[in-house]
Structure 1
Amino acid sequence: MCGIAGFIAGCGAADARLLAPMLARIAHRGPDGQGSFVEGPAALGHCRLAIIDPDGGAQPLYSEDENLVIVFNGEIYNYRALTAELTALGHTFATRTDTEVLLHGWEQWGRELLPRLRGMFAFALWDRRAGTLFCARDMFGIKPLYYCRCADGTLLFASEIKAFLDHPSFEKRFNAAQLPLYLSCQYSPGRDTFFAGVEKLLPGHFLEFSEGIVRTARWVQPLFLPGEASISPAEIEAVLRGSVEAHKIADVEVAGFLSGGVDSGLITALARPARSYTIRYAEPRYDESLPARALARSLGLRNHLRCISPGEFWDAVPAVQYHMDEPLADAAAVALYFLNREAARDVKVVLSGEGADELFGGYNIYRDPFTMQWYDRLPPWLRGALGTAAGLVPPGPGINFLMRRGVSLEERYFGPTALLNEWEKRRLLADYAGDGSPLYLTEALWDMTEGLDPVSRMQQIDLNLWLAGDILLKADKMSMAHGVELRVPFLDKEVFAVAAALPAAAKADARQTKLALRQAAARVLPPAAAARKKLGFPVPVRDWLRQEPYTSRVRAVFSRPAAGAFFNPRALHSMLNRHLHGGDCWRQIWCVYSFLVWYEQFFGA
């Protein structure tokens, strides 16, 4: 696990002096050392967090003939099997690191190396003779990679956007078109970013840069293809156990994150790390530490508990938004920031439960097709009329239901946390033409899932948008902010092969989610832990917004010039007042507040 950064100069030779500040910006990702390669137009840099082969795994790494140069962020969990296979084919390895598998694998198979990899990765490989750059990202998007083609022809790439800020070819410009999308989703969706010209290499994609031309293409598309045959709890347990064992491969201690939910509990029970880490709040309504600590005791684990005070939570928001690179309105990111900071005192690697909801049907919205089915039998014109009328008034539980069920799944669903609707965006934004709906991002995904059950179709949307854009991005950025490698055993290609084939009835019903996974979890967890209702890493922001000094903090940010540049300040203050007097607008308030705090970090005076 590391950070990578580099560039291919648009003309002339690369200046080695330009690479150093890029690496300095992301030094938190790899505090154990830095390395660089600069030759001709190419400059490749690496910040290392030493996990496998600490003595021999420094990067950049070179092929045997030194023609290929690579910088790599991630872990290849089947590298030992691939090393044996490549050795049998005549390749000679100089290190024990998983990075070297990528070099020999590229020499042997070219792009066909990618589907052979089991792991999380984002890497950049330079071919010195051909003068070509090849970059690739893993199938789920666990590890991030950004790139930018500058006006002078220079191509920049890095694990974090902030690495571009000090390069003279990069022009920092705000991309206003991303704001309405963010307000809908609570994260920055799709290929574009809030920095004009900076793009994400999407999950399961590769990039080739040759003769001044950038080409990107998808190398894998994970698909949910539910079958008719049932998959036993024992089969699910077995594939998860195998993934956990693979994810424990390291030359350093591997710990675990443990909340009160089934996902982290199952991973922890299978892994049995020596220690685990849990977050708690003083507010009982949001405290998951009691079931987490009870599970840790039953497993014989040392559990480290970190209580977050309201003051330190709010004080950390600017740092969280800076490390995220783009604004994120997921308040759990702040909790994850503290959780990783606590773990970093002792370990470099932790296992976590991200991905279980997307693969096994864990979000409460997946129960939607099974509830109030009588309403769906009403004439479409009547449901549509009620939904249209509901869209003209402020949102609320009943209003949201009418809007949601007034149109087809394809016309409304773009993720489990749809936030500001069009009515709210028109009210809040200073200048909004109504062209900021994220539904265009889902069109191809709906086409490829036509004929499948509604839950599988929603899972396909979430796997491609929400998982990569929010869940995994905050996991990467909040862990790497403290030099911690976060591993996610649910997001393994072998596990996905099983999850993708689950029948629709094994995912959710009107009362419960993750049905098949809970049955598997019951084989290794206490019954109460396997059946526990999903809480989703709750954070007390709703309550804190009604308390001083936090109300005044938000009001002050809503009164600053940046707020007036993008929003209607009167509408912002009205929304805050409505929450103070009993309304429930905390997610909308937090979304705007997070954006404005982020904007100050990167575009403030």
Structure 2
Amino acid sequence: MCGLLGLLTTDETTTDTVARVDAAMHCMRHRGPDEHGTWHDAHVVFGFNRLSIIDIAHSHQPLRWGPPESPERYALTFNGEIYNYLEIRAQLAEEFDAQFRTDGDSEAIVAAFHFWGEDAVRRLRGMFAFAIWDTETGEMFVARDPFGIKPLFLATGTKGTAFASEKKSLLDIADVVGIGTELDDRAIEHYTVLQYVPEPETLHREITRLESGSFARITPGSAPLQTRYFEPTFPVRPFTPGTEAARYQEIAEALEDSVAKHMRADVTVGSFLSGGIDSTAIAALAMRHNPKLVTFTTGFEREGYSEIDVAAESAEAIGARHITRVVGPEEFAAAVPSVIWYLDDPVADPSLVPLWFIAREARKHVKVVLSGEGADELFGGYTIYREPLSLKPFERLPKPLRRAAGALSERIPEGTRGKSLLHRGSMTLEERYYGNARSFGDAQLRAVLKDFRPEWTHQDVTAPIYERSRGWDPVARMQHLDLFTWLRGDILVKADKMTMANSLELRVPFLDPEVYRVASQVPLDQKITKDTTKYALRRALEGIVPGHVLHRAKLGFPVPIRHWLRGPELYDWANETIEQSQAGHIVDKTAVRRMLAEHRDGVSDHSRRLWTVLCLMIWHGIFVEGRIVPEIEEPIYPVEV
């Protein structure tokens, strides 16, 4: 787990170019405080910050490897972990007599690429973003894992192409690459609606992201040629009478195997633990491989906004040592600028902040943690996935009647029972479901954004994804959409950035190819019922997850900003953020002040919209104005943790 930066130049590299790349690595030193290294040749400069997890004494990067006749043909820089690296090394040694100089997973990637070519990425079980430079062909191959667990930013300019684990590093060498740093107005509008910047966009027009499940080939002077190698589908395999127990066992075995492989490390592995079924399942299975497992939970003092008690009960039930961290409103607000600096682009999810705090606490005890991200998208865990069941009667209505129901809903007063049902029932799935977040409606967006463009909508993002799932059942289509939007735009961004901010590696066993394979075959009636979600997964985890969690309703990770923004905890802080912001050319500060006042007075709940705008203002203050300078500590940790 590390931070990488690479530059492929159209001209020959110079001493100054190497020095600039080396200096640009400093702003992501938190991703790899154990080692720092660079390598270059006539056209390429690689920079690397290493967080040593596997084969600590060796596997240094940038790494050189090649077959016996050309032992340094390739140069690799790699961020992530390959959990089946032992099996890959053994297979390559048996089939091709591949030779290795280390005991790590990095060489497995290069050797796999040498012998299998681009098909190597389909054989990797893990999380990764890597670049391989072939010194003989003069071609760069970069790739990202199927679900987008690890980030990779790209920029191609007049002087070459650069890529990095964090956008900050690319901004530091923008002139070296030959790119501008202008903002992308459309990406800003997408962020404001969705609360995250959807891939492949970033808020800087000339910097993008390599999409999840994709690779690219790059040669000097040419833009990257990208190819999608993984497209998640849901080839449902119905449960036939008498096969239920076997299918549940298949799910349990796939998850147990994934956790076992995710426990591979030469350092201590812990686990995040909430009050939910997903993280509890991961922790319970991890205990089978480490009876001294340490689990970590964060929460708040406010009643109804903490899962600390449930998590503590779960930890006791599975026998884990448990550590908690309670976050108060003052330290919450003080941490926001640092959190946004680490993010690169804003993500208006308040749970980022407590995650940052618990990651800091966990790093005192372990170097790797497991977590439960991805289970909801794969097994049908979000409550909103039950919506198609409640709206099914509307599907039988002729389209004119559905539209009439929508028109009627517009005339019904806010808060009236049935208004929302009529409104949602009048729309198609593509029209009503954006993914798991929507901060602003069009009218609200028009009032807040100075340069509101009605032609820029969420459908810029969702329409191409929906096109690929035509003919599927509605829940599978929602899951598929969330894999490309909410999961990789919010969930995995906060998981990667908040843990790596504290030099902590986070692993997500649910997002494993084998777990995905069995999950994708689960039929609709085994995902969603009238009483629960993730039905098949819950059945599979009987005997693994404690009973008090197994059938508990999903709470999510609520943060009390709705209350804090109305009171002394955050109201003054929010008002000061608005007043000091110089982003008035992007957002109408008068409209934002009005929203804050209405929220304080209880006229309307604007908490999500306010948080979205406040995060954008703070981001602008850091990355555009330079007015806000977060306090970023030097990451100094003992290697042996």
| Length-normalised TM-score, structure 2 | 0.91
Query: Shift in Å at residue 428 of structure 1?
Result: 1.4
Is residue 48–residue 59 contact of structure 1 (8 Å, CA) maintained in 2? yes
1:599 to 2:605 alignment: no
Q: Please name the residue that 1:62 is paired with.
A: 64
Aligned-residue RMSD, C-alpha: 1.8
Instruction: Please say if residues 9 and 220 of structure 2, whose CA atoms lie closer than 8 Å, have aligned partners that are also in contact.
Output: no
Q: Is the 8 A contact 2:583 2:620 kept in 1?
A: no
**Is 1:82 the counterpart of 2:112 in the alignment?**
no
Give the match for residue 584 of structure 1: 605
Give the distance between the partners of 1:500 and 1:379, measured in 2 at CA.
Answer: 32
Assess, with a 3 A threshold, how the Cα gap between structure 1 residues 294 and 549 changes in structure 2: closer, same or farther. Answer: closer
**Aligned-residue offset at 1:308:** 0.5
In structure 2, the residue matched to 1:122 is: 129
The equivalent of 1:383 in structure 2 is: 402
Picking from 218, 227, 233, the partner of 1:223 is: 233
User: How far apart are the structure 2 equivalents of 1:553 and 1:399?
Assistant: 35
Distance 1:127 1:212, change over 3 A: same
Q: Per-residue deviation at 1:378?
A: 4.3
Aligned to 1:243: 258
The 2-side partners of 1:251 and 1:546 are apart by 47
Structure 2 CA distance for aligned equivalents of residues 163 and 405 of structure 1: 46
Letter in 2 for 1:365: I
- Residue among 180, 204, 215 paired with 2:213: 204
Give the counterpart letter for 2:184 in structure 1.
N
CA distance in 2: counterparts of 1:602 and 1:106, whole angstroms: 37
Deviation of 1:437 after TM superposition, in Å, equals: 0.8
Find the aligned partners of 1:488 and 1:562 in 2 and give their Cα distance.
Answer: 39
- Secondary structure at the aligned position of 1:451 is classed as coil
**Contact residue 280 and residue 289 of structure 1 kept, 8 A:** yes
Instruction: Give the aligned partner of residue 272 of structure 2.
Output: 257
1:364 corresponds to: 383
Residue 9 of structure 1 aligns with which residue? 9
The residue type equivalent to 1:592 in the other structure is V
Residue 38 of structure 2 aligns to a residue whose secondary structure is: strand
1: distance between equivalents of 2:425 and 2:578?
34
- Which residue does the alignment assign to 2:163? 157
Distance 1:92 1:395 in 2: 69
Q: How does 1:533-572 map to 2 (within 5 A)?
A: 533-572=553-592
Residues 20/263 of structure 1: CA separation in 2 closer, same or farther (3 Å cut): same
Identity %: 39
Amino acid of the structure 1 residue aligned with 2:551: A
- Cα deviation for residue 549 of structure 1 reads 4.6
Report the counterpart of residue 140 of structure 2 in structure 1. 133
SS at match of 2:584: helix
Query: Is 1:490 matched up with 2:510?
Result: yes
Deviations 1:137-159 (A, max 9, x none): 00000100001012x23211000
Q: Which runs of 5+ in 2 are unaligned?
A: 627-641
Measure, in 2, the Cα distance between the counterparts of 1:565 and 1:392: 34
Q: Answer whether contact 1:412 1:439 (CA < 8 A) is retained.
A: no
- CA distance, structure 2, for counterparts of residue 602 and residue 362 of structure 1: 36
User: What is the rounded CA distance, in whole Å, between the counterparts of 1:91 and 1:393 in structure 2?
Assistant: 71
Corresponding position: 1:178 with 2:187:
yes
Query: CA 1:16 to 1:119, structure 2 compared with 1: closer, same or farther past 3 Å?
Result: same
TM-aligned CA deviation for residue 386 of structure 1: 4.0
Residues in 1 aligned to 2:412 and 2:211: alpha-carbon distance in whole angstroms: 36
Q: What is the aligned partner in structure 2 of residue 425 from structure 1? A: 445
Instruction: Give the Cα–Cα distance (whole angstroms) in 1 for the partners of residues 409 and 558 of structure 2.
Output: 28
2:631 corresponding residue in structure 1: none
Q: CA deviation at 1:516?
A: 0.8
Q: Whole-Å Cα distance in 1 between the matches of residues 481 and 420 of structure 2? A: 20
Amino acid at match of 1:79: Y
One-letter identity of the residue aligned with 1:601:
I
Deviation of the 1:389 alpha carbon: 6.4
What TM-score, normalized by structure 1, do the two folds share? 0.97
Letter in 1 for 2:248: P
Contact map agreement 2:43 2:220 (CA 8 A) in 1: no
Kept in 1, the 8 Å contact 2:155–2:162? The answer is yes
The answer as to whether partners of 1:368 and 1:510 remain within 8 angstroms in 2 is: no
Cα distance in 1 for residues equivalent to 2:23 and 2:286: 39
**Aligned residue in 1 for 2:371:** 352
Equivalent of 1:24, from 23, 26, 30? Answer: 26
**1:106 equivalent among 104, 107, 113:** 113
**In the aligned structure 2, how far is the partner of 1:146 from the partner of 1:400?**
39
How far, CA to CA, are the matches of 2:229 and 2:392 in structure 1?
Answer: 39
Question: Residues of 2 paired with 1:393 and 1:548: CA distance?
Answer: 35
2:435 and 2:478 in contact (8 A); partners too? yes
**Distance (whole Å) between structure 2 residues aligned to residue 155 and residue 525 of structure 1:** 48
What is the identity, as a one-letter code, of the residue corresponding to 2:619?
A: W
Amino acid across the alignment from 2:614: Y
Q: Secondary structure at the match of 2:142?
A: strand
CA contact (8 A) 2:325 2:358 kept: yes
Q: How does 1:304-383 map to 2 (within 5 A)?
A: 304-383=323-402
Does the aligned pair in 2 maintain the 1:557–1:563 contact within 8 Å?
no
Q: Give the gaps of 5 or more residues in structure 1.
A: none
1:465 to 482, 485, 502: 485
- Does structure 1 retain, via aligned residues, the 8 Å contact 2:369–2:506? yes
Q: Which amino acid aligns with 1:241?
A: E
| Contact 2:394–2:426 (CA under 8 A) maintained in structure 1 | no
User: 1:166-223 CA deviation, whole Å, 9 max, x = no partner?
Assistant: 2133432211211111111110013111011101000010111114222111111121
Cα distance in 1 for partners of 2:617, 2:405 equals 35
Q: Secondary structure in 1 aligned to 2:406?
A: helix
